[in-house]
Structure 1
Amino acid sequence: MITKNARDVPPKHRREATRPPPGQRVLVARAMVRAALSIVALLFLYYLLPFGRSLGGGVHAGLGIALAAALLAFAGIVGIQIRRIARSAYPGLRAAEAFAVSLPLFLLIFAGTYFVLGREQACAFTQAMTRTDALYFALTVFTTVGFGDIAPVTQTARIITMIQMLGNLVVVGLVAQIFLGAITAGIRRRASREPE
């Protein structure tokens, strides 16, 4: 039996051997398009949701309840995604798609919270918050860049920012680890079904 070393194979054929088959390329493209459309839809909703209703005197309680409910909904969505990843025929693709949607959703939850807080309490941040400013601030907190142009001033704003900082660690660390575990479970499940 004659075997070829990788260096014996011409470079053109090596590239072709490492490319995914055409069917998989279509699956990857579809997953990327679905993720991109989901992100666009989330941004569209963020800019169109009517955050106009005033919370009145109960800014702290109302905002806290809304944030807690949104984070619980986020946890539920992540749980559903984990199940889908584990059951998927292509768990790696499903996990990448889920993470590409989960992360922007997490950031938009906090951006919406910052926007409402900035609207209800003008002194909560160092400047007035538009929706774009709130999204920008949520993203700078997530990436730990912290330019300093927008900063939380009131105790409520600082507490919400600290909750996001802790949530960032959970999203990046724990959720990524859970998604990787679901990928592994999905691969094992698929391998056990395939005949040898």
Structure 2
Amino acid sequence: MPPCAPTCCCHAWPSASWGSAPSPSSSRASSDGGDGRNPGSARCAWSCWWRWPVAFSLAYYVLGTQAVGQMVGIRTRLDALYFTLSTTATVGYGDIHPTGQLARAVASGHILFNVLLLGAVARLVTARAAGGRVRRGGRPER
């Protein structure tokens, strides 16, 4: 799988170009909807999808192994990945759970991230089903 292009949205978290429109001569002006960050790029999304579970798994692993009393049931990296995926899938078996305030804050952030992710996916799917691209204002183009 090829890595992200340097112009991919994953590499440009808040950059100076986000607030300004690219020039008409810019090669990115026609491919990204005009705002310079290309958030709808399927290639970008595909090449960056693995970053969020790795980040949450790492956070849970550190909380479970290094911070006393924060997580119950996390002893290995696989335990942390398992908790990340079961939380993302909203399964929540109950065998691993946060007990400390910091771990609960991280888990709450993870849940909020999941809601935003599902909303973004639903928005893209409905826009594609309607046959248009999603504009910055949230309404599909006609």
Structures share fold, TM-score greater than 0.5: yes
> How far apart are residue 154 of structure 1 and its match?
1.1
Residue 76 (structure 1) aligned with residue 25 (structure 2): no
Q: What residue identity is the alignment partner of 1:171?
A: L
Q: Which moved more, 1:140-149 or 1:124-133?
A: 124-133
Whose RCO is larger (CA < 8 A, sep 6+)? Answer: 1
Residue 87 of structure 1: aligned partner: 31
Please report the TM-score for the alignment, with normalisation by the length of structure 1: 0.43
> How far apart are residue 145 of structure 1 and its match?
1.0
> How far apart are residue 95 of structure 1 and its match?
3.1
Among 45, 55, 63, the alignment partner of 1:117 is 63
Residue 165 (structure 1) aligned with residue 111 (structure 2): yes
Of structures 1 and 2, the larger Rg is shown by: 1
Residue 99 (structure 1) aligned with residue 45 (structure 2): yes
Percent identical pairs in the alignment equals: 29
What is the alpha-carbon distance in structure 1 between the residues aligned to residue 123 and residue 46 of structure 2?
A: 15
Among 73, 76, 89, the alignment partner of 1:127 is 73
The structure where helix makes up a greater share of residues is 1
Q: What residue identity is the alignment partner of 1:156?
A: L
Residue 140 of structure 2: aligned partner: none
Among 123, 130, 135, the alignment partner of 1:177 is 123
What is the alpha-carbon distance in structure 2 between the residues aligned to residue 75 and residue 113 of structure 1?
A: 23
> How far apart are residue 146 of structure 1 and its match?
0.9
CA deviation map 1:147-176 (0-9, x unaligned): 111111111111110110001111221366
Kindly indicate whether the alpha-carbon contact (under 8 Å) linking 2:64 and 2:72 is maintained by their aligned counterparts in 1: no
> How far apart are residue 87 of structure 1 and its match?
1.5
Going from structure 1 to structure 2, the CA distance change for 1:106 and 1:75 (only over 3 Å counts) comes to farther
Please report the TM-score for the alignment, with normalisation by the length of structure 2: 0.57
Q: What residue identity is the alignment partner of 2:61?
A: F
What is the alpha-carbon distance in structure 2 between the residues aligned to residue 119 and residue 139 of structure 1?
A: 18
Q: Which runs of 5 or more structure 2 residues have no equivalent in the other structure? A: 5-9, 23-27, 33-39, 135-142
Going from structure 1 to structure 2, the CA distance change for 1:169 and 1:121 (only over 3 Å counts) comes to same
Q: Which runs of 5 or more structure 1 residues have no equivalent in the other structure? A: 1-32, 39-72, 89-93, 186-196
Kindly indicate whether the alpha-carbon contact (under 8 Å) linking 2:73 and 2:79 is maintained by their aligned counterparts in 1: no
Q: What residue identity is the alignment partner of 1:76?
A: W
Q: How many pairs align?
A: 108
- The alignment's C-alpha RMSD in Å is 3.7
